[in-house]
């Protein structure tokens, strides 16, 4: 299907798919098995300038938005979602910095994140604060010109290898949601260390760590936006980043389906290819239809989001102001419902399609030396992180009811 991508967007698709085919496919099983960080592939992603597709040109990025970011995630995840996450996790750190930082903070962090010279990570989750981010306990106490951080964060993607972290801590636990605040913390800051490395079902080449803060002193200038606005920072970030998870899910689904098509066309039983059995053909048809529907939803939503966001980004970059403030001044609406819909739909499609692909391939589909089972293991995380699909459905339903109520009032 022709989605009328621009020349630059098509170039991104081609680059990501080329890296996926030539650089990722030959090594994906190795990195999945060894759980090593895939530095040589990350270098290829850097060289192709794919870290900064969503970052304004002023900071060395490509000046794209959510659609471009989703295209990178999709293209790389077509081969391996774990390796694709090495770029996406860094983007999840760059996005809140881009949207909420001052011009000085943007200048300090965005060029290196755009070039992939420094990697980023984002840490909201804690052992007792998962879906309920209002119960964050990691604390930040203002002391002179510094904040002093104490506490534990967990499940941080891309940690340890990352140099820059967006961390959420509370400046006042008694204030609940209104105490949560976002900070930028650099690796190597005394009092900041890495705890347990998780052993996972999927996306195994991307490290997931616990973060420890013990009297970790960071400059006051590393406050991201304002005290008490942390959950806002996280939510607006997720409005934009969940479409990246959707892109990752879409790449996983398409990758599994392509491997399955190739296999079912040549595997013969009862004297004919298994693709010629109607039972398999119908599964292929359902998978292909679901993937195309997911792609249509994702591309059209991100295109509309980017169009709405661009004037605020351009104005903030030109005037040296905060993008989020310009979004409010220009009345740019939030895309919470639509980005949640993309994430739910694409990730559910990925889980269903990859499970069906293992089924269509039979016994070989279950084996580690055949690529399809890995897609199924990798698909699962897209239904869990950046807010589980249950939480997304809560949000979508709440917004639908709210919209219906306000229409009824008119
Ligand atoms: C591999 C991996 C990487 C991750 N990377 C990051 C990262 O980089 N940064 C980061 O900050 N976090 C990260 N996370 C954390 C992730 O976002 C959380 O795991 C997720 O939000 C769910 O939180 P939880 O695990 O505490 O589950 P819980 O909140 O304990 O939820 C458990 C179950 O209860 C359901 N549930 C909870 N509340 C409700 C409700 N109100 N209504 C209906 N159902 C509900 C959930 O849907 C889920 O099924 C990562 C997680 C994993 C597994």
> pLDDT tens across 244-294, in order?
999 999 999 999 999 999 999 999 999 999 999 999 999 999 999 999 999
Q: Are residues 24 and 135 in the same domain?
A: no
Q: Are residues 258 and 394 in the same domain?
A: yes
199-256, pLDDT tens digit by residue?
999 999 999 999 999 999 999 999 999 999 999 999 999 999 999 999 999 999 999 9
CA distance 45 to 241: 19
pLDDT-derived band at 310 (thresholds 50, 70, 90) equals very high
- The dihedral region occupied by 152, where left means phi > 0, alpha psi between -120 and 50, and beta the remainder, is beta
Is the pLDDT at 53 greater than 90, yes or no?
Answer: yes
* Residue with CA nearest ligand 1 atom 17: 385
CA distance 82 to 46: 16
148-181, pLDDT tens digit by residue?
999 999 999 999 999 999 999 999 999 999 999 9
Helix (H, G, I), strand (E, B) or coil at 176: helix
pLDDT-derived band at 401 (thresholds 50, 70, 90) equals very high
Residues belonging to the chain:
410
Q: Are residues 100 and 215 in the same domain?
A: no
Tell me which of 197, 248, 384, 392 to substitute to probe ligand 1's pocket, judged by most ligand atoms within 8 Å of the beta carbon: 384
Atom index in ligand 1 nearest the CA of residue 390 equals 47
Residues having CB within 6 Å of any atom of ligand 1: 89, 122-125, 130-131, 155-157, 200, 208, 381, 384-388, 390-391, 394
Q: Are residues 176 and 71 in the same domain?
A: no
Q: Are residues 241 and 375 in the same domain?
A: yes
Q: Please report, rounded to a whole number, the percentage of residues in the chain having pLDDT higher than 70.
A: 100
Question: What total number of domains does the chain contain?
Answer: 3
Is the pLDDT at 74 greater than 90, yes or no?
Answer: yes
Q: Are residues 257 and 392 in the same domain?
A: yes
First to last CA, the chain: 39
pLDDT-derived band at 90 (thresholds 50, 70, 90) equals very high
Q: Which of 206, 224, 242 is the last residue of a domain?
A: 224
Task: Tell me, in angstroms, the distance from the centre of ligand 1 to residue 378's CA.
Answer: 16
Q: What is the predicted pLDDT for the residue at 260?
A: 98
- The dihedral region occupied by 167, where left means phi > 0, alpha psi between -120 and 50, and beta the remainder, is beta
- The dihedral region occupied by 155, where left means phi > 0, alpha psi between -120 and 50, and beta the remainder, is left
Q: What is the predicted pLDDT for the residue at 283?
A: 98
Nearest residue to 260 (alpha-carbon basis) of 380, 354, 345, 377:
354
Q: What is the predicted pLDDT for the residue at 143?
A: 98
CA distance 165 to 112: 13
Q: What is the predicted pLDDT for the residue at 1?
A: 87
**DSSP secondary structure letters along 300-312:** HHHHHHHHHHHHH
Task: Tell me, in angstroms, the distance from the centre of ligand 1 to residue 137's CA.
Answer: 16
Tell me which of 125, 198, 244 to substitute to probe ligand 1's pocket, judged by most ligand atoms within 8 Å of the beta carbon: 125
Atom index in ligand 1 nearest the CA of residue 129 equals 26
CA distance 304 to 195: 41
Q: What is the predicted pLDDT for the residue at 50?
A: 98
113-137, pLDDT tens digit by residue?
999 999 999 999 999 999 999 999 9
Q: Are residues 316 and 353 in the same domain?
A: yes
Is the pLDDT at 410 greater than 90, yes or no?
Answer: no
* Residue with CA nearest ligand 1 atom 35: 390
- The CATH number of residue 44's host domain is 1.10.540.10
Share the mean pLDDT of the chain. 97
Range of the domain at 104: 7-119
Q: Are residues 249 and 321 in the same domain?
A: yes
Q: Are residues 330 and 202 in the same domain?
A: no
Task: Tell me, in angstroms, the distance from the centre of ligand 1 to residue 329's CA.
Answer: 33
Q: Are residues 56 and 144 in the same domain?
A: no
CA distance 282 to 360: 11
Q: Is residue 2 part of a domain?
A: no
Q: Are residues 17 and 150 in the same domain?
A: no
- The CATH number of residue 160's host domain is 2.40.110.10
CA distance 120 to 109: 10
Place of tokens 């983007």: 91
Task: Tell me, in angstroms, the distance from the centre of ligand 1 to residue 384's CA.
Answer: 6
Q: Give me the active site residues, please.
A: 386
Q: Is residue 75 part of a domain?
A: yes
Considering just the CA atoms, what is the radius of gyration of the chain in Å? Answer: 21
- The dihedral region occupied by 344, where left means phi > 0, alpha psi between -120 and 50, and beta the remainder, is alpha
Q: Are residues 195 and 247 in the same domain?
A: no
Is the pLDDT at 7 greater than 90, yes or no?
Answer: yes
Q: What is the predicted pLDDT for the residue at 6?
A: 97
């Amino acid at each position: 299907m022709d989605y009328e991508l621009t020349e630059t967007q098509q170039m991104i698709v081609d680059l990501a798919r080329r890296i996926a085919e030539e650089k990722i496919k030959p090594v994906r099983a190795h990195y999945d098995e060894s759980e090593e960080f895939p530095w040589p592939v990350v270098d290829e992603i850097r060289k192709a300038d794919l870290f900064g597709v969503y970052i304004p040109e002023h900071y060395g990025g490509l000046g794209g938005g959510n659609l471009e970011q989703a295209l990178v995630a999709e293209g790389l995840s077509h081969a391996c979602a774990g390796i694709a996450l090495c770029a996406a996790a860094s983007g999840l750190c760059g996005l809140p910095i881009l949207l909420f930082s001052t011009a000085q903070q943007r200048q300090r962090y965005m060029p290196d994140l755009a070039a992939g010279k420094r990697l980023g990570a984002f840490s909201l989750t804690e052992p007792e604060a998962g879906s309920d981010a209002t119960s964050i306990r990691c604390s930040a106490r203002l002391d002179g010109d510094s904040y002093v951080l104490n506490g534990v964060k967990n499940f941080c993607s891309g940690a340890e290898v990352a140099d820059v972290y967006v961390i959420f801590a509370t400046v006042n636990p008694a204030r609940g949601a209104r105490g949560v605040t976002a900070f930028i913390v650099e690796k190597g800051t005394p009092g900041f260390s890495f705890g347990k490395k998780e052993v996972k079902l999927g996306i195994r080449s991307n490290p997931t760590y616990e973060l420890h803060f013990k009297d970790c002193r960071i400059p006051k200038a590393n406050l991201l936006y304002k005290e008490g606005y942390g959950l806002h920072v996280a939510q607006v970030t997720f409005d934009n980043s969940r479409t990246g998870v959707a892109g990752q899910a879409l790449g996983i689904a398409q990758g599994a389906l392509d491997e399955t098509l190739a296999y079912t066309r040549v595997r013969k039983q009862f004297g004919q290819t298994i693709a010629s059995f109607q039972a398999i053909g119908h599964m292929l048809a359902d998978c292909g239809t679901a993937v195309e529907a997911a792609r249509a939803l994702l591309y059209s939503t991100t295109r509309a989001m980017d169009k709405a966001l661009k004037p605020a980004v351009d104005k903030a970059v030109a005037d040296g102001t905060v993008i989020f403030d310009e979004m409010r001044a220009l009345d740019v609406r939030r895309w919470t419902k639509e980005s949640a819909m993309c994430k739910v739909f694409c990730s559910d499609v990925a889980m269903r399609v990859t499970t069906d692909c293992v089924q269509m391939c039979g016994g070989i589909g279950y084996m580690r030396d055949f690529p399809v089972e890995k897609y199924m293991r990798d698909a699962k995380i897209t239904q869990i992180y950046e807010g589980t699909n249950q939480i997304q459905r809560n949000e979508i339903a709440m917004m639908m009811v709210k919209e219906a109520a306000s229409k009824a009032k008119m």
